[in-house]
A and B are shown apart, each in its own frame.
Chain A
Amino acid sequence: MIHFDTASFEQALDEGKLIMADFWADWCGPCMMLGPVIEDLAEKYEGKAIIGKVNTDKEGELAMRYAVSNIPTVIFFQNGKEIDRKVGVMPPDVYIQVLEQNLDHQQPS
């Protein structure tokens, strides 16, 4: 799983692939609770989607750019653009559904 900084995040966006980014911070209990789910999905979707975390404490600029005002917020990107976001802790199926739906649309590289 990737811990994004601005540079690695820009690079992932440029690749155009499906990205799932979890905006979090270590003072946030719900974020810590969701963390293992994100890690598990990152493992399961390795090679299909880029799944990573953005620490809003360290990468404030990215959090500002995407107007993240609650954490955890999970934002999905494809072809460099935001396609969906889920605010708060959601059942894992909710994230899986977005991943599956958009993997279908992904052009084979």
Chain B
Amino acid sequence: MVYDIIVLGSGPAGLAAAIAARGRNKSVLVIGNRWQDSPLAKAERVDNYPGLPGRTGPELLEELYEHAAALGTEFVVGKALSLLAWNGFSVTVGSQIYQGESLILAPGVIRTAKFPGEAEYLGRGVSYCATCDGMLYRTKPVAVVGLAPDAPQEANYLKRLGCQVVYVSPNPPQTLDPGIPYVKASKLAVKGEQTVTGLEADGTLLPCAGVFILRRAVAPTDLLPNLATEADTIKVDRNMATNLPGVFAAGDCTGAPLQVAKAVGEGHVAALSACAYLDSK
């Protein structure tokens, strides 16, 4: 099925966009992490959301989620790994492909910082997708840099394929196969000659042929290389339209203030603009 609108991000901006678009009877697919994994879920008390003082972050998120779901929004839990703007928009999550006529980017704060050597060795040992590239590393030593809740499962998958996996992350992982060695480290650098030869983790070199860097989300600028940004925020106009036709953005990704009220308002506007875009086609 081709959705009218695909929303990337399941925080307040993405959920508010879904609610507004469902109110206009557009089909909506939200792709994102579980709402429980949103940074807002850690907020013990939110006092500046108009009309609803004293709610917790999880309460606000759950109510937004339930509202969007009750209106018929569809959800996919996972990470948008790649995106293609061609005959509409296609997004891959794992090995699944989802299609939409328009796109709303609501991924939260954009993190574009990369590790030293990461960009240099992309395509020569650095990978962002265990399911895509794991088979090319069968029997070889690989390091998994786990920066996302689902990273241990991806490491386990690589081990099952026959890779010799070492798992590197700042915090001990849950659900990691006990047969996979864990290295606690946060200062990382990819090392190589023509191709990757190792990962330096807090000063110690872990020799490997591949480094799988698994973050919570792929930056929108990596998904859409032509997307216009300014100081790590997505450039939008008053209609929350980006420089790309049919692509809108809302919430923390467009800049400060990083607050729920602003995110919700922008999500609402982005959805109405996406509806207007669809109706004008």
Query: A residues near B, CB below 8 A?
Result: 25, 27-34, 36-37, 56-57, 63, 67-71, 73, 85, 87-92, 94
Which of B84, B127, B131 contacts A70 (CB under 8 A)?
Answer: B127
Sample of 16 further A-B pairs with CB below 8 A, known A28-B129, A94-B225 = A27-B132, A29-B93, A32-B92, A32-B95, A33-B97, A36-B86, A56-B136, A67-B195, A69-B210, A70-B123, A70-B133, A73-B123, A87-B123, A88-B82, A89-B82, A91-B84
Residues in chain A near residue B87, CB distance under 8 A: 36
Which of A30, A63, A91 contacts B85 (CB under 8 A)?
Answer: A91
Which of A30, A57, A90 contacts B81 (CB under 8 A)?
Answer: A30
Do B123 and A29 touch (CB < 8 A)?
A: no
26 A-B contacts, Cβ less than 8 Å apart?
Answer: A27-B131, A28-B95, A28-B129, A29-B92, A29-B97, A29-B132, A30-B129, A30-B132, A36-B86, A37-B86, A56-B136, A57-B135, A69-B123, A69-B125, A70-B132, A70-B133, A71-B133, A87-B122, A88-B123, A89-B83, A90-B225, A91-B84, A91-B85, A91-B86, A91-B225, A91-B226
The 7 closest A-B pairs by CB, nearest first: A87-B123, A29-B92, A29-B95, A30-B82, A89-B82, A28-B132, A33-B90
Is B280 an interface residue when CB atoms closer than 8 A count as contact? no
Q: What 0/1 readout, one digit per residue, does chain B (106-138) give for beta carbons within 8 Å of chain A? A: 000000000000000011111101011101110
Residues in chain B near residue A90, CB distance under 8 A: 225
Residues in chain A near residue B225, CB distance under 8 A: 90-91, 94
* B119-162 residues at the A interface, CB under 8 angstroms: 122-127, 129, 131-133, 135-137
The chain A residue sitting closest to B226, CB to CB, is A91
The chain B residue sitting closest to A85, CB to CB, is B123
Is B174 an interface residue when CB atoms closer than 8 A count as contact? no
Shortest distance between the CB of A43 and any CB in chain B (Å): 14
The chain B residue sitting closest to A37, CB to CB, is B86
Is B94 an interface residue when CB atoms closer than 8 A count as contact? yes
The chain A residue sitting closest to B195, CB to CB, is A67
For the complex, what is the distance from the CA of A65 to the CA of B83, rounded to whole Å? 28
Do A29 and B84 touch (CB < 8 A)?
A: no
Shortest distance between the CB of A96 and any CB in chain B (Å): 11
